[in-house]
Structures are given as structure tokens and as C-alpha cells.
Structure 1
Amino acid sequence: MKQVLFLRLCAGILLRAAGLVLWLGALAACAQAPPHEGKAQPETGLHIFTLEHDRQERRYALYVPAQAGEAPLPLVFSLHGGGVVLEDQLGTRYKSPFKLWMDLADREGFYVVYPEGLPGAYGKPTWNDCRADCTVSSSADDVGFLLQILEEVAAEHPTDRRRVYASGMSNGGFMALRLAVEAPDTFAAVAAIGAAMPAVSGCGAPRCPLPVLFMNGTADRYMPYGGGTLSNPPKASHGTAMSTPDSVALWADLAGARAEAPVHYPDLDPDDGGTVTRRDHTAGGRVWVRLYTVGGGGHAAPSLRERYSALFERYFGHQNHDIEAVEEIWRFFRAAAPAQGPAGR
């Protein structure tokens, strides 16, 4: 009898021990579960990625703001000018007003994507925008490339798909305008600096209104404010563009918007060779088109903090120091109505 009781006692102890092991194992498994279904917690800061598009390896940088978490955040594309490599857009080697998107992202809470174009006629990165008479840029499917980046980023980071924006300088500005024409359901607003609508378009006319911002200098030799032939390098053509006022009118008419009284900005730097005037075109209580005319400004993004060198200005003209371009653009984006579609990924 004692032997039977002893065996039953041992069996009970072993069963309890086995149960404890199973419970601890389950607890450990719970502790190791990811915070949100199959998604790693986003690492903040700047990351550079490659992806394959149309059988070509391409690069882009993604900045994840400090406040990134599980809530969907807006996303801004910052498109470089022709001949500008990714590192220069990020400001790692030279002054770049566009590096300030990252500071702004930390403050306001949005992702920033810096994509890189493919080599054009002179072996430097370019965008295939809508200028049908431009022979400098590559013939890549850049709209498809940018949309693929968006899908890749949104698959890993909670993204508010109703608040996706594109901003670009020069060739990048023309590319942002192509996105407005061909992907208006994806982008809530676009901004173009040193760019206008093409005079000879390979994309057709815009089919629906979209909030658009222009920021152009009246002394820009590369993208004339009054339109016409763009400054051309040897053996290639940058094509032609509409005037800035005509580009504004095209988008304003599409939205049925009328011009408001101009706003003159304080001349914070009397030595920068110019001043800034803003003019909104509104309809239904919304700003559909916003024009920043940079009087005396060259082919350069205005900036208070990231000031170009005298050598840069010798080639590209005066840089205005009365406004911060990315700050002005973000205010416009933030006020634009969200695009139609689901908020999340």
C-alpha cells in the first residue's frame, strides 16, 4: 500500500512539473510575439534601401520620424533635380534645403521618401517627366517606380494613404507634376519648385483638379518664369515649358478657382537679391493652387538655414533667404483635403 501511495505521489509531482514547463513555454512564446501582427516595430531615423523595378536595381532613402508607432502617418516624397544623386539630396556632402524635411518630419509626424532617378543622357540621375521634347532624361517608368516604393513602405510602416504628397525641384518638380496628372487618386497634393507644366506634353492634360503649389524665381535662367525653351546642355534638350502664370491658370481653371489678393513676405535678407509674394487660388473655401513668386530668384529652393555657396549662385542665380521652402510646402500639404481612399495601409 505504501509503495502504491509513493508511486501516485511521484506521478502527481511529475504531472505538475510537466504542466509548469508547458505554462512557462506558453508564457515565453507570448513574451516573444511581435507587437503588431507580422510587423516589426519601426526603427526611427534614415534608412537606404534598394528594390528591383523593371529589372533594374534602384535606390531610395526612407526617413522614419521619432514619433512613428502604430498610428498611420502621412508620407512625403522629395524628388531631386536632374543630375543630383541621392546623397546630395540628403545634404550629406553639400547644403540642401531638402534635408530639412527630416527635421520637419520629427516635429510634425510624417515619413519622408527620397527616391533616386536613373541615369539620363549625361550619366546622372534624372526623372522621366512629361516633357515630350526633353532628351536629357531617362525613359524609365518612374511613376511605376514611385508607386512601388509607396507600396513597399506602406507594407512595413503604418501609412495614411489619404495623405501622400510629392514635392520636387527642377526635373523633380516636373516629375511631381506628372504624378498630379497620372496618379491624382494616390497623391493628395503636389509641389513644384523651379518647374512648370510642359509646353509639349507626353502625358496628356490633367483630368481632375488637385491641390498644386508652384515656387518659381523670376530670374531663373534654367526654367524661365515666362516659359519657352529651357536652358539646354550640348547635344541634348531640356525641352520647353509653359509660363508659370499659364501653369497656375491651367490647374486653377480645372478646379474653378479664383485668385485671391497677393501676400507679400517680409524681406528678411535684403542682400539676397529678391523678395517673395504668395498668391492663392481658391474655390469652395479651399486653396487649390498656391503660387510663390520669388522676385529676383534663380534656380534654387529658398531657405533660411541651408544657404548655397557663392559658387552655386554664380551658376544657378540668387537663392532667396526670406522663407523656408519645405516649411511653406508642408503648410500647404497639411491644409489640403485628404485624397479619396482608405486611411490605413
Structure 2
Amino acid sequence: MWFGCLVVSNPLKAGKQLWAKNRKRVLIIGAVLVVAWIYVSRSGNPDTERAKIPTGYLSAERELTVHADADPGKPLPLVLVLHDDNSDAGAIEKITEASTLADRRDFAVVYPEAVDGEWRLDDPQGADVQYLRDVVRYVSQERSKIDQSRIYIWGLGEGGRAALAVACAAPDNGLKFVAVATVGSVGQSPSCSPETHVQHVDGAWNERITRALWDFSRQFKA
């Protein structure tokens, strides 16, 4: 009886004693719960992986970075995101945060990479245009299930020029980019068919612009 009265008359003191006695246990349980929450929130999301186009493609041995579910429940839209000259796939992934958005909105995203950091665009049917087409075929055939009616391409600066070059060229064996978006200066744009939807955005690319490009692109299907 006396102990019960003590607890009632000194709840603050009793609380402090209880915390002191169980502090370590509570902190351990809290840490375990945080780790479990992080694991659950990330489970099911694909890793971002470096890849090399294999033998059998004209662009064999060219590299790219892939963020795509290997076995999605249904075919996914595909977005190619192209870096500017003097940059690389890792840099544009970090700037755009497109992989994070892809996890939230259920699309596949890949980051092609120019040789020595520079896109070669002198020939509209040249090596880099072929490479970007091979990227789509490689990811579609060997890395994920892709909705061929929802293939989009975005680019920054010279990467935007490369995106326009391949998107506005005549379709190759049925491969078609239904939407293309550029960020920053790209110079004179080629003429695109009405079936290819084009958006130009000024300013520095960030996560907000990535969301806007997705909202623009996802409206369209081939």
C-alpha cells in the first residue's frame, strides 16, 4: 500500500526511475524499428546498376546505368535520361533524382552514357543514335518488361540535342519515342512529326523539373 501511494504522490520521480532502468532496452527497440521501417520502405524497389550492352547489338560494349524492375507485374513505361557533354550517367541521375521518382510512379529509367562524355551528333543516323535505340531494345529484351507504347526520352543541354535527334528521326523497326523533353539550351531543334510530343524547359534541372517532365510525358502513348 505504501509503495502505491509513493508512486501516485511522486509520478515524475517514478517515471525517471523507470526510464533509467529501461533506457537501454527502449533505445535498442527504437533502433530496430527504424531499421525495419527503412527496409520495408525500400523493399521491392530495384537497384541502380551499371550495365554493358552485350554482343549481338550494334552498340555492343557501350555502357549505361539501369534502374528498372526485372520482373514487374505489368509492362512499365521507359524513360531515357541523357546527360550533358562533359558529364556522365551518374551525375545526371543524382541531379534529376529520376530513379526516386521512378520508384514512386512505377516506370523504368535508364541513363545512357556518351563515349568520353561527348555526344556525337554530326550524323542523324550515326553511332549515338543507334546506341540510344539499342538501349531501348536491350532494356526491353533483357532487363525488364517495357510498354513499347510509352517510351520517353529527356536530355540536358547536348543530351537534349541527342534526345531530339533520335526522337525526331524516322521510327526504326517500330521503335518510337512518343515524347521528348529537353532542359537548357539545345540550339536549333529538328523537325518532329506530330506524333512525337516535344517540351522545352529552361533553367537548372532538379527534382521539381523531373516531376514536371514525367507529368508531361505520361499523357502520351504511341
Deviations 1:167-195 (A, max 9, x none): 00000111111122115551110000113
Measure, in 1, the Cα distance between the counterparts of 2:59 and 2:66: 22
Tell me which residue corresponds to 1:127.
119
Cα–Cα, structure 1 residues 130 and 332, in superposed 2: closer, same or farther, change >3 Å?
Answer: farther
Measure, in 2, the Cα distance between the counterparts of 1:210 and 1:151: 19
The correspondence for 1:81, drawn from 59, 76, 84, is 84
- Which sections of structure 2, spanning at least 5 residues, go unmatched? 1-43
Is 1:206 aligned to residue 192 of structure 2? yes
Return the letter of the residue paired with 2:106. Answer: G
State the structure with more CA Rg.
Answer: 1
Tell me which residue corresponds to 2:67.
63
Say which SS state the counterpart of residue 57 (structure 1) adopts.
coil
1:77–1:165 Cα contact (<8 Å) kept: yes
Mapping for residues 323-338 of structure 1, pairs under 5 Å: 324-336=208-220, 338=221
Deviation at 1:86, TM superposition (A): 2.4
1:62–1:113 Cα contact (<8 Å) kept: yes
Cα–Cα, structure 1 residues 186 and 55, in superposed 2: closer, same or farther, change >3 Å?
Answer: closer
1:192–1:213 Cα contact (<8 Å) kept: yes
Q: TM-score, normalised by structure 1?
A: 0.45
Tell me which residue corresponds to 2:167.
180
Q: Which aligned segments of 4 or more residues in structure 1 are displaced greater than 6 angstroms? A: none
Tell me which residue corresponds to 2:46.
44
Is 1:72 aligned to residue 75 of structure 2? yes
- Which sections of structure 1, spanning at least 5 residues, go unmatched? 1-41, 120-124, 133-138, 218-299, 306-323, 340-345
Deviation at 1:205, TM superposition (A): 3.9
Measure, in 1, the Cα distance between the counterparts of 2:73 and 2:108: 13
The correspondence for 2:115, drawn from 95, 118, 135, is 118
Measure, in 2, the Cα distance between the counterparts of 1:327 and 1:189: 15
Deviations 1:46-88 (A, max 9, x none): 111112665763110110259x523100000000000002222
Is 1:103 aligned to residue 100 of structure 2? yes
2:76–2:146 Cα contact (<8 Å) kept: yes
Measure, in 2, the Cα distance between the counterparts of 1:65 and 1:55: 23
Say which SS state the counterpart of residue 79 (structure 2) adopts.
strand
Higher relative contact order (Cα pairs below 8 Å, separated by 6+ residues): 2
The correspondence for 1:192, drawn from 176, 182, 185, is 182
- What do you get for the CA RMSD once the two structures are aligned? 2.8
Tell me which residue corresponds to 1:146.
132
Tell me which residue corresponds to 2:13.
none
2:58–2:134 Cα contact (<8 Å) kept: no
2:59–2:134 Cα contact (<8 Å) kept: no
Deviations 1:90-138 (A, max 9, x none): 33xxxx1x2x11111111101000010012xxxxx11123699xxxxxx
2:132–2:166 Cα contact (<8 Å) kept: no
Say which SS state the counterpart of residue 182 (structure 1) adopts.
coil
Tell me which residue corresponds to 2:9.
none
Cα–Cα, structure 1 residues 112 and 180, in superposed 2: closer, same or farther, change >3 Å?
Answer: same
Deviation at 1:143, TM superposition (A): 1.2
Deviation at 1:197, TM superposition (A): 4.9
Q: TM-score, normalised by structure 2?
A: 0.68
Say which SS state the counterpart of residue 192 (structure 2) adopts.
coil
2:178–2:195 Cα contact (<8 Å) kept: no
Measure, in 1, the Cα distance between the counterparts of 2:153 and 2:68: 17
Is 1:169 aligned to residue 156 of structure 2? yes
- Percent identity, aligned pairs only? 28
Cα–Cα, structure 1 residues 207 and 197, in superposed 2: closer, same or farther, change >3 Å?
Answer: farther
Deviation at 1:206, TM superposition (A): 3.2
